[in-house]
A = this chain, B = another copy of it.
Amino acid sequence: MSDILRLDGSSLSIADVYEVAYGGRKIEIAAPAWERVNAARRLIFELADRDVPVYGLNRGVGWNKDKTIEAVFFEQFNRNLIRSHSAGIAPYASEPEVRAVLLARLNTLLVGCSGADPSIVLRYAECLNRRVHPVLPLRGSVGAADITTLSHIGLAFIGEGEADYEGRRLPALEALSAAGLTPLTLGPRDGLAIVSSNAHAAGTGALVLHEIGELLELADIVYALSLEGLSGNVSPLEEGVHRVRPYPGQLRSVAVVRSALQDSDIWQHYNPESLQDPLSFRDACHIHGAAYDALGYTAEQLEIQLNGSDDNPCVLVDEGRIISCANFEAVSWTLGFEMLGSALHHVSRAACYRIIKLGTPSFTGLSRFLTPNEASSIGYCTAQKTATSLDAEIRHLSNPASADYIALAGEIEDHAANSPFVVAKTREILDRLRWIIGIEVLHAAQAVDLRNAASGKSVLGRGTRSIHAALRKQVPFLAEDRNISKDIETAYAMIKNGEMLEAAREAFATSL
């Protein structure tokens, strides 16, 4: 991951986006891709010379498609386009988000259907590699394409607006200068090339998908610890029963859970009389599996976006033509995010029900609310409310939003997918789910500890042992009532910053 990522317009993965965004990995442009960019630009000038009417080139954009743009006005028109389209509003993207957006746009430009000036294309690479991060508002786009917000990137390119550089928010001109860059001058089509893309939603969406994948893996491991806390039945983890109903995600979840429980005592005290645990335990791999399946679909759909052209009009160099199209249409992968949100809601609810069960003596044989002392302490009674109130928020966030648009611009723009908002609400779901899994791990660890205290030290699984140990370094056993918020915040932080998953992955690595 420390090496340079070569972009070719066709093989960018979601993991790549994450690395460039968070890891600061540098990028370079593959030669064939660069040639496509240049060829398309040449074609643009040929068409302009022949006065072929082209949207956003010698004609206006949107409803203004009927307005002719003279060559002498190209620069002014494109600058005005950038300015007038800058209508995004707070909040603003984080630096990793800005990087993901720059990368997402750069790679689709490399498909070679844009016709933008090569200097524009290069500017994305320069900003990424020199860490000049234009200020990007996150709201305002209806997602067809993200012209309201991407225009702010264009502002910075031409030396207007603002950008972050080395941790400071600067006027864009200063930021560019500090990084050894000069403002761009826009030529024909360049304004549209900058604003007419789904890169805002696609780039931020890629980050969300990557993080969901990581949280699902952790959710598997935390579930495994909960199962040990319950002293539950492992029969639903038998590989045979999944082979006869082979959902890909389910198989993946079972594999993770089984790895996490490797060497655990739980396989020994398989009690055939304890026929069936609550479904929140018994169905966990099916539920997590459904989320993995939804994630797989969404990732596949989004990767088509990341490696396809989202330009309109579309320059087809082979055909020597530039064609009006609808490749800014993000609805297919946006629907994947909607489904994924519902899938995560199932994950959330099941986690909540496991939390509740872990506090219920008739299911665990342990104390009520996992209190260390029923006489003097209350234990984890109220954290049930924290978890389930967040589940209610997830339920709310899981409602669809992609089709709630209004026809705009003289009724011409009568479709949209609200992709940036759908991505944003999926991120909100993800974040709430982290809190809930954090509350689950607190319960699971407490249940394990109480059980050990009661019936002698048992051996946890390879993965569950590692997250238990990692948690206990920062959150001690609840030996008497204390402010529970602090523990919840700590567990959440360990999930969000990756520590807890890291602990488990190290254990898995050791186990090989």
Q: Are B400 and A399 in contact (CB under 8 A)?
A: yes
One complex includes copies of this chain to the number of: 4
Which residue of chain B lies nearest to A277 when distances are taken between CB atoms in the complex?
B412
What residue of chain B has the Cβ atom nearest to residue A243's Cβ? Answer: B316
Selecting from A17-25, A381-389, A450-458, A503-511, the interface stretch reads A381-389
Give per-residue flags for A375-409: 1 if the beta carbon is below 8 A from chain B beta carbons, else 0.
Answer: 01111111111101111110110111111111111
Partner of A310, one of B139, B235, B245, B374: B245
Question: Is A338 an interface residue when CB atoms closer than 8 A count as contact?
Answer: yes
**Measured between C-beta atoms, what is the minimum distance from A482 to chain B in Å?**
5
Task: Enumerate chain B residues within 8 angstroms of A409, measured Cβ to Cβ.
Answer: 381, 384
A332 within 8 A of B: yes
Complex Cα gap A377–B343 (Å): 37
Contact A286–B331 (Cβ < 8 Å): yes
Interface size on A, residues (CB 8 A): 162
Chain B residues with CB under 8 A of A293 = 301, 332, 335
A79 contact set on B, CB distance < 8 A? 481
* Contact of A247 with B414 in the complex, beta carbons under 8 Å: no
Q: Mark out the residues of chain A between 256 and 290 whose CB falls within 8 Å of any chain B CB in the assembled complex.
A: 272-273, 275-280, 282-283, 285-287, 289-290
A140 surroundings in chain B (CB, below 8 A): 382, 385-386, 389-390, 485
- The stretch from A55-63, A93-101, A207-215, A223-231 touching chain B is A55-63
Contact with B along A218-256 (1 / 0, CB 8 A): 000000000000000101101011001111011000000
Q: Mark A276-319, 1 if CB is under 8 A from B, else 0.
A: 11111011011101100110010001001100111000101011
B319→A408 contact, CB < 8 A: no
Say whether B406 contacts A401, CB under 8 Å.
Answer: no
Q: Which of B86, B304, B396 contacts A483 (CB 8 A)?
A: B86
**Of the residues B235, B318, B396, B401, contact of A325 by C-beta under 8 Å:** B235
Q: A87-B488, A335-B342, A392-B421 are in contact. Are A235 and B324 (CB under 8 A)?
A: yes
Q: Which 5 A-B pairs have the closest CB atoms?
A: A245-B308, A286-B329, A290-B332, A339-B339, A80-B481
Given contacts A77-B376, A89-B489, A283-B415, 19 further A-B contacts (CB under 8 A): A53-B273, A55-B275, A64-B378, A80-B377, A83-B482, A85-B381, A89-B488, A111-B244, A140-B382, A140-B389, A141-B389, A160-B483, A241-B316, A244-B316, A286-B326, A287-B329, A287-B331, A290-B331, A391-B406
